[in-house]
Structure 1
Amino acid sequence: VLINLALAVVDIAAKAGFCALLPVEERAEVFAIKYTLSNVGYAAGPLLGVAMLELNDHMPFIASALLGLSMCLAYWRLGDRSLQASAPDKPGVGFAQVALGLARDRRLVCFTLGGVLSAVVFGQFTAYLSQYLVVTSSPAEAARLVGYLVTTNAVTVIALQYL
């Protein structure tokens, strides 16, 4: 549940960043490309994880840690710190004022609560399925099956996305 909520927050931040940095006419295309690349990652990642797991039980965790560290270092060294939002200059509004304004919107509150509840119930099915498979089979077999299932799901989404 925490992973799904964290992913939702990062996704919202990425979309907000796209909206702030891109003109309106370019946003739809960038969102479509982001969605496709996310699914490519979901298609390739589990297969790589299964392959690494076959080599060594700790290899996927080490590779994940090294990848995360390398991305942080790359952003620290190469990241553009001069990005500016394309919105016109407006007087700043405090966080509390924005939060109170959003909390007054009943539809937004209901939509947000519904999104959180659906993330809890319909979150990544692989979390529940992997727990079941670990109990009914070996952990290596569970990892292999979940990897294949996630890859199959992502490939199907990529294949049907533009149709």
Structure 2
Amino acid sequence: MNIRHIHPLTLGVLFGTFFARLSTFFVMPFFAIYLATLGFSASVIGTVFAISALSGLFMSFFGGTLSDRYGRKQLMLIGIVLNALTFSGFALVTELFWFYIFSVLMGVSRSFLEPASRALISDTTQPDQRVIVYNVRYFLINIAAAIGPLLAVVLSLTGAKSAFFVVTGVYVMYGLVISTLFRKYPFEEGDGVKVRPRLTETFRVLQQDKTFRFVIIGMIFAIIGYSQFNATLPQFIAFHDGFSDGSRLFAYLLTVNAITVLVVQYPIMRFGMRVSPIKSLFFGVATLSSGLLLIGFATETWILFVAMVIFTVGEVLMFTMTDVLTDELAPAHLRGTYFGAMGLTALGQTIGPVIGGVLLDGFDNAALPVFGSLAVLTACGAFFFTGALKERKASLALTEEKVG
């Protein structure tokens, strides 16, 4: 695919996402450890992560639909401004109440920015090129994940307040660039379909689209497992007697995660296109839960690295095809609504860190009871992806019948 064929707005989203995530990886992978240094317990830290996801979960009912009603530009810029405010706030506060407030803002900003930017990619990209562009986006995010934590270690930014201000500055620049691009390159949203969906459109979609509903429930279980990566795992490593210099070890694990993504993404993308996106999600959640289970047996550092590779393969199997599947299921005039509704999977991010924190406290950081329990819970998602596959086949068969 020639870069000249990519719409300038899509390029703006791709590179803006890359630099925003790069700077965010200076901060968020170490955020749980940073909160621990302020004296908060594992359970309390879990609630800080959870409240961000909970606010995002609530706004998922409206954020994507608002972008369908009022435009991608407005929602993206609001999301970018809220992100800038959030990270500058994190740098300035030390009391738990304010961490909760800014965590709420983070969830709201994500619910505005993410569905609007992904719908914008669909609006400005030809259908036969969307799979590639969505995977380029995922690829760039993982390059950011590969080098962001290491840069933070090299620049001594892990846990530093200045890192939060770096993120703020990047979001300000992102907002300026995307605003300029919108003015210079106007376009027709939703393939020019002029429909203003109701704010309650997400509820109707969930009621009528059974395939999409099964996918969302399955992804909730999958993300319960995936959320342990940034919330439970760093705390487990930091306070486990068998591992020294937890921050540095976790930074290396993040790098292994990102490098593995870069290595396996293309063949897994081809696999997902061949077997269908829903099957890719099924195999993904099964592999992800296997990686979590292996962490439970991690008595030595090398086992953690092997577990991280397995965990990452599961992650790629799921996340390379999530946007593709959402775009495939969504009518053109409801792209924002569908991408926004996918944010309901934040329920997994809401309860996952809490469950992980409670397990860490309850089992006194014992590896197998904690990660074995999380592996079983995550694997439940496979049942719902099976249901989604059956519904999708039935829906396609009915469509073929009507056409015939």
Matched, 1:141 2:275: no
Distance (Å, rounded) in 1 between the aligned partners of 2:144 and 2:161? 20
Identity %: 22
Between 1:94-103 and 1:17-26, the stretch displaced more is: 94-103
Q: Highest relative contact order (Cα 8 Å, sep 6+), 1 or 2?
A: 1
TM norm structure 1: 0.76
Aligned residue in 1 for 2:123: 20
**Structure 2 regions of 5+ residues with no counterpart?**
1-48, 57-106, 268-404
Distance (Å, rounded) in 1 between the aligned partners of 2:193 and 2:175? 31
Contact 1:39 / 1:157 at 8 angstroms: preserved in 2? Answer: yes
Contact 1:40 / 1:158 at 8 angstroms: preserved in 2? Answer: yes
What root-mean-square deviation, in Å, do the aligned CA atoms of Structure 1 and Structure 2 show?
A: 3.2
Matched, 1:42 2:145: yes
Matched residue count: 160
Distance (Å, rounded) in 1 between the aligned partners of 2:173 and 2:192? 35
The change in CA–CA distance for 1:124 and 1:68 in structure 2 (over 3 A counts) is farther
Aligned residue in 2 for 1:84: 188
**Structure 1 regions of 5+ residues with no counterpart?**
none
Question: Counterparts of 1:1-163 in structure 2 under 5 Å?
Answer: 2=50, 9=111, 11-53=114-156, 57-76=160-179, 78-81=180-183, 82-85=186-189, 87-97=191-201, 99-136=203-240, 141-163=245-267
Distance (Å, rounded) in 2 between the aligned partners of 1:79 and 1:133? 43
Between 1:38-47 and 1:14-23, the stretch displaced more is: 14-23
TM norm structure 2: 0.35
Contact 1:21 / 1:86 at 8 angstroms: preserved in 2? Answer: no
Deviations 1:127-157 (A, max 9, x none): 21111233237xx932221111111111121
Deviation at residue 21 of structure 1 after TM alignment: 1.9
The change in CA–CA distance for 1:47 and 1:11 in structure 2 (over 3 A counts) is same
Deviation at residue 56 of structure 1 after TM alignment: 8.2
Deviation at residue 22 of structure 1 after TM alignment: 1.4
